[in-house]
Structure 1
Amino acid sequence: MNDIQIHDLKKADKGILKEIFKINEGYNPFLGPLESLDNLIELIKRSNYSVFLTNKEQICAFLVSFRENSSYQSKNYEFFKNRFERFFYIDRIGVVESFKNQGLGTFIYNKIDAICIKDKLPICAEVNIVPINEESIKFHEKMGFKKVSEAYSNSNYGVRYYEKCM
């Protein structure tokens, strides 16, 4: 982890964005597909805090997140918008397969904790339960997130909503 660097995703060049797009699409169905690089670029533009990590210049992880004042349109984001006046919403995080289980998710989430603790912002996220994303469920619970609700769009898609109060 000594060579890990964090970068602002809003300042990333097109080559980096293409790699982030591939990482995102590799997480389907657990991360919603973006369908095009332009959609990723638009998502990042709307985001409030979006970063990517590198290890010796190799991209190894990314995160896109929003605050309560975003124009982002998502059922899951709206769930939290209806619960809180102020919050920090984790929309998507992806770690490259060869970098999994090396503490990168914890590294990013610790950065989020540091941002949110100052303003006592709740941190919000959802995790797929249909199809089940067991790895993400365990990670969020290990990081102190508590289950608050579940929602099912149909028999093929359901999410569990998590919050972490700071």
Structure 2
Amino acid sequence: MKIRSAQKSDLTKILELNEAALPHVSKVQITDMARFLKQADPFLVIEYDNEVAGFMIVLQSGLDYSSLNYAFFVNHFENFDYVDRIVIADPYKGKKLGTSLYDHLFKTTDKKFITCEVNVKPANPASLTFHNKLGFNQVAEQVTENGHKIVSMLVKQM
């Protein structure tokens, strides 16, 4: 297992992993992933057996990013990392790769809070359980996509 910064050459595989994780993450285009590569801090990939097995995109406050979930945290918190998305490919689930990505973030951040959201509609109970075990707590729920999604807004104080 190896954690490293995402590279432009990883973006096609990362987009493929993102697509496979729908509807638990938002649909994006390759141009969005390229923008994340420039804006995210960090944008990590995790390799397992020399394959890209997952990724994590972390955004800071002050970006021009039209996400209602990101805007919630910008409006309610200061000094935070926002985990826009974390995805682990199905064949690699259960191998603690998501935990390893978060542990890396926890050890390297200088922020007071780590924030993220998890779908409650459509339900993503595995992700909610995972985030709760890592010490995240719900601070709100938010309705998005004209009621098609409801997300649990989660925060972990560092």
TM-score where L is the length of structure 1? 0.89
Is contact 2:43-2:55 (8 Å) kept? yes
Secondary structure, counterpart of 2:95 in structure 1: coil
Tell me the amino acid that sits aligned with residue 21 of structure 2.
Y
Superposition deviation, residue 70 in structure 1: 2.2
- Which of 25, 28, 49 is the matching residue for 2:22? 28
Q: Measure the CA separation in 2 of the matches of 1:106 and 1:22.
A: 21
Tell me the amino acid that sits aligned with residue 57 of structure 1.
N
**Would you say 1:8 and 2:5 are equivalent positions?**
yes
Structure 1 runs (4+) deviating above 3 angstroms are none
Q: Measure the CA separation in 2 of the matches of 1:13 and 1:161.
A: 30
Correspondence list, 1:1-150, <5 A: 4-9=1-6, 12-14=7-9, 16-34=10-28, 36-116=29-109, 119-150=110-141
**Count of aligned residue pairs for this structure pair:** 157
Instruction: Please give the per-residue CA displacement for 1:5-45, whole angstroms capped at 9, x wherever unaligned.
Output: 11111xx143x2111100001111110000x2122111221
Q: Measure the CA separation in 1 of the matches of 2:16 and 2:45.
A: 13
Q: Measure the CA separation in 2 of the matches of 1:85 and 1:148.
A: 15
Structure 2 segments unaligned to the other structure (5+ residues): none
Q: Give the % identical residues.
A: 30
Q: Measure the CA separation in 1 of the matches of 2:40 and 2:66.
A: 12
Superposition deviation, residue 78 in structure 1: 0.7
Structure 1 segments unaligned to the other structure (5+ residues): none
Is contact 1:77-1:89 (8 Å) kept? yes
